[in-house]
Structure 1
Amino acid sequence: MAAGTTLGRVRRWTLRTSVLGLAAGAAFTVTAAPQATAARDVALILDYTVAKDCRVYENYPKDGVIGNDPAWRIAPGEVVAWRYNVNGNYAMISDKKHRSSSTHAWWGFVDPTCIGTSIGGEPFPTPDSSYPAGEPVPQRILEGRSAVEADHYRTVDFRVAPGTVVDDRQEIRSKGTLRDAANRFVIGNVKPGWHVHRTAERNAGWTKVYVPNAQRWGWVQDIHF
């Protein structure tokens, strides 16, 4: 009798604990989902006016870099998005007039003084906020807007660590971007017909490569091979 009573209590306690555990799990799911949604609803690519006529470079201009389009320019009246400043000489932008192009890069490097002020209206730094118009680009170096960091900015790894090359003749078959990590900040571009030095390092559909024409290490999406 005592044993049966004890067993009954154990069963009731176990059931009650399980129910509470499920309830706690459900509560966690309910509270976590809006946060995840909120993070996705924050705008990270904010638009700016163009202050003056300037050339844009597909890959950071330095000795040994080839393939930059000499005709790519931005001018007053156009719209660009600021992503980050490399240094005091160049900033990474997205050129709105090329954003739907299947052949021309839209991410590129430009003199920061060519970028005007914010157009405003995007939800940043929170989903319920509205970024003001007339603001200059941030002065931060190698930091871009982020929805996951407490201060809303994340460091750009502009000089990706080298990897071990397993194929030094991997062909690029379509236009793509070079990133500092899988699907993170753009640090350059690749073009069809280029050959890169591929490593065996892969992450979420991206592969670490060295791009001789850009003189830079980074990550390229596998769909471009």
Structure 2
Amino acid sequence: MQTIADRLINTRQLIHKATVYAKRPEHSVQLLAVSKTKPVSDIKLAYEAGQRMFGENYIQEGVSKIQTLNTLTDIEWHMIGPIQSNKTKIVAEHFDWVQSVDRLKIARRLNEQRPADMPPLNVCIQLNIDEEESKSGITPKDLPDLVEEIVNMPKLTLRGLMAIPANNTSPDAQHKTLATLQTLFNDLASKVDTVDTLSVGMSNDMQAAIEYGSTMVRIGTAIFGARQ
């Protein structure tokens, strides 16, 4: 039976192979371990195996884990789930990154509520790249306006884009979506100095995402096992 440490090794090897195949520099793709619904004990095992970046989808669950593991000061906590406006304060006070900024109101509240003694909050704008009704995120045409607002917020640092492409699409459709996302990211990075992160790719589309410039893949089940 594979351990979490074994699965982490396997996942890192897959990322390495995909990076080599895409002819990209070694270590140009980071691994975000998605630990939603998993116990603190599993996060500790991943930490002991060298993992430092963890993603949480649910705010209260994530904050509880952050508080429980607050002695592990080199963990980097990413909020990757949707955020209601009445929950921005607790997110701003605890997380290092928010990848799911999808409207101006949320960005403004995170900026206003980030404690003065903490570094600026790293944020990614979530794009609904395939414009699916069931998913959060802004459309590409609304991206420039939100970027313009965020770059002027002193307690936020715009790091890039996050997206969840449509599932069950043909390879051609998948590649078209990822190519569009790559173009949007490259354009943004050319205009905003702090932008260095394209967060796209999960277990089912990781190789294709890396081929199209992903700098961070979000992997959960392949590391921690299926959710109960």
TM over 0.5: no
The TM-score bracket by the shorter chain reads: under 0.3
Q: Which structure has the highest strand share of the two?
A: 1
TM-score (structure 1 length as normaliser): 0.24
Structure having the higher Rg: 1
Q: Which structure has the highest helix share of the two?
A: 2
